[in-house]
């Protein structure tokens, strides 16, 4: 199968949807024909581009119970991914660019792809592939180094323990000490030079798959993992954000998306303790979570017969949530990062489960 070209200059659409329009009609913009979405999807079990699947329109849900913000912001279509992808787990920002690693693509669930988005050029670059292809790879950036932690080698199950770092020596990956135990869908975040790996799931079958409460930290100075206080309840597919050294873990699933959570906990590294914060308004998993303008924005996600488009933000000072303009295309398992004055959300599944992948890429800004 042909690899994507080393540099792809793909122009994004100009579709703009404001929060005011969504406030009047929460499903506005989700009709069957949208130029920036046409041909941007592909089934996991069959090759060939397609339009958004019909089931998306019955599963898409965008109504938030949180109060609408005074400035709900707006979304804009950006350059689509080179190929439809989903279940990367998360994305990370590094030196003003977004990185997506692993996931489902081209009828496999263990792709090693590494795509990089440059907002200034509105273009995607294909970077060195991660040595172990997987889905639900935990990723984090510390300084100029990008870390890839664990992941699943089958569809959302059968984890591996291998870990790698990219950017320390040009466009190539280097193996680091593996996890103490194999795990996938881990929430990874850097605090200083150290990488925290929290929660995730283990199990080699859907029947044995189980969420865990592990909290591991990797220190690159001595290439070693140590254990810290576990989070209060085992979860995977969570949102994770670092706010001034405090780690926020938001939402996620307890064993499956049948039992999605609204829980929101924050970790104090100095005390090695967890504390509860105001819960997320919409229970979901596989959502994006980023720090933007001092608030934690959570968008998208998955539930039973649901694919969420809610875009809800948490104010750490006021301990309060508000709703913002929902996504143009509700998705789960996508990558989301904040770069400059925008949030970029790329790829993901437009329906429950991993059966359809997307190349959709949309950006949110408060203007």
pLDDT at 12 exceeding the cut of 80: no
Residue 249: count of CB within 10 angstroms of its CB:
28
Computed over its alpha carbons, how large is the radius of gyration of the chain? 18
Q: What pLDDT digit, counting tens, does each position of 294-338 carry? A: 999 999 999 999 999 999 999 999 999 999 999 999 999 999 999
Structural domain that includes position 261 = 7-131+234-365
Residue 128: count of CB within 10 angstroms of its CB:
13
Q: Could you tell me the CATH number of the domain that includes residue 82?
A: 2.120.10
Res 96: pLDDT: 97
Residue 204 lies in a domain: no
Residue 307 lies in a domain: yes
Residue 288 lies in a domain: yes
Q: pTM of the prediction?
A: 0.91
176 vs 165: CA distance, rounded Å: 7
pLDDT at 284 exceeding the cut of 90: yes
User: How many domains does the structure of the chain reveal?
Assistant: 1
Residue 192 lies in a domain: no
Res 35: pLDDT: 85
Would you place residue 32 in the very low, low, confident or very high pLDDT band (cuts 50, 70, 90)? low
Q: Which residue has the higher pLDDT, 253 or 21?
A: 253
pLDDT at 24 exceeding the cut of 70: no
Residue 176 lies in a domain: no
Would you place residue 11 in the very low, low, confident or very high pLDDT band (cuts 50, 70, 90)? very low
Return the exposure string of 137-151: e unless at least 16 CB atoms fall within 10 Å of the residue's CB, then b.
bbbbbbeebbbbbbb
Residue count of the chain, please give it.
367
Query: Using CB atoms within 10 A of its CB, is residue 159 exposed (0-12), middle (13-18) or buried (19+)?
Result: buried
Would you place residue 49 in the very low, low, confident or very high pLDDT band (cuts 50, 70, 90)? very high
331 vs 346: CA distance, rounded Å: 9
Spatial neighbors of 24 by CB under 8 A, at least 6 apart, are none
Among the residue ranges 165-169, 316-320, 342-346, the one predicted with the least confidence is 165-169
Res 33: pLDDT: 67
Res 38: pLDDT: 95
pLDDT at 30 exceeding the cut of 60: no
CA dihedral 75, 283, 248, 340 (to 10 degrees): 0
Share of the chain above pLDDT 90, in %: 88
Sheet holding 356-358, edge to edge: 49-50, 41-43, 356-358
Q: What pLDDT digit, counting tens, does each position of 186-231 carry? A: 999 999 999 999 999 999 998 899 999 999 999 999 999 999 999 9
188 vs 233: CA distance, rounded Å: 16
Residue 123 lies in a domain: yes
Res 26: pLDDT: 39
Mean pLDDT over 137-158 rounds to: 97
Residue 170 lies in a domain: no
pLDDT at 288 exceeding the cut of 80: yes
Residue 94 lies in a domain: yes
Res 341: pLDDT: 98
343 φ, ψ to 5°? -110, 125
Res 354: pLDDT: 96
Write out the two tokens for 126.
């294909």
Contact 302, 332 (CB under 8 A): yes
Element (H, E) at 362: strand 361-365
């Amino acid at each position: 199968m042909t690899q994507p070209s080393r540099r792809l200059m793909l122009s994004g659409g100009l579709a703009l949807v404001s929060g005011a329009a969504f406030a009047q009609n929460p499903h506005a913009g989700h009709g069957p024909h949208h130029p920036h979405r046409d041909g941007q999807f592909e089934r996991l079990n069959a090759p060939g581009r397609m339009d958004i699947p019909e089931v998306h329109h019955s599963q898409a849900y965008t109504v938030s119970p949180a109060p609408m913000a005074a400035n709900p912001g707006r979304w804009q279509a950006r350059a689509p991914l080179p190929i439809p992808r989903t279940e990367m787990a998360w994305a990370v920002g590094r030196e003003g660019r977004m990185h997506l690693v692993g996931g489902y693509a081209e009828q496999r669930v263990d792709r090693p792809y590494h795509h990089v988005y440059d907002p200034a050029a509105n273009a995607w670059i294909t970077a060195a592939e991660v040595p172990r292809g997987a889905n639900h790879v935990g990723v984090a950036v510390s300084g100029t180094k990008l870390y890839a932690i664990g992941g699943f080698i089958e569809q959302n199950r059968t984890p591996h323990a291998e870990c790698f770092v990219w950017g320390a020596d040009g466009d190539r990956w280097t193996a680091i000490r593996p996890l103490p135990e194999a795990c996938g869908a881990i929430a990874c975040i850097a605090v200083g030079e150290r990488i925290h790996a929290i929660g995730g799931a283990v199990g080699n079958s859907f029947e044995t798959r189980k969420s865990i409460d592990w909290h591991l930290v990797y220190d690159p100075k001595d290439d070693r993992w140590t254990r810290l206080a576990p989070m209060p309840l085992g979860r995977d597919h969570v949102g994770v954000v670092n706010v001034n050294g405090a780690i926020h873990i938001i939402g996620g699933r307890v064993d499956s998306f049948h039992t999605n959570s609204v829980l929101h906990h924050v970790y104090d590294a100095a005390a090695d303790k967890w504390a509860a914060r105001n819960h997320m308004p919409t229970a979901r998993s596989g959502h994006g979570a980023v720090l933007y303008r001092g608030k934690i924005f959570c968008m998208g996600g998955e539930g039973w017969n649901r694919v969420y488009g809610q875009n809800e933000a948490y104010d750490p000072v006021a301990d309060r949530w508000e709703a913002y303009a929902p996504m143009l295309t509700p998705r789960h398992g996508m990558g989301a990062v904040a770069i400059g004055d925008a949030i970029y959300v790329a790829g993901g599944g437009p329906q429950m489960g991993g059966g359809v992948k997307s190349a959709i890429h949309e950006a949110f800004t408060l203007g």
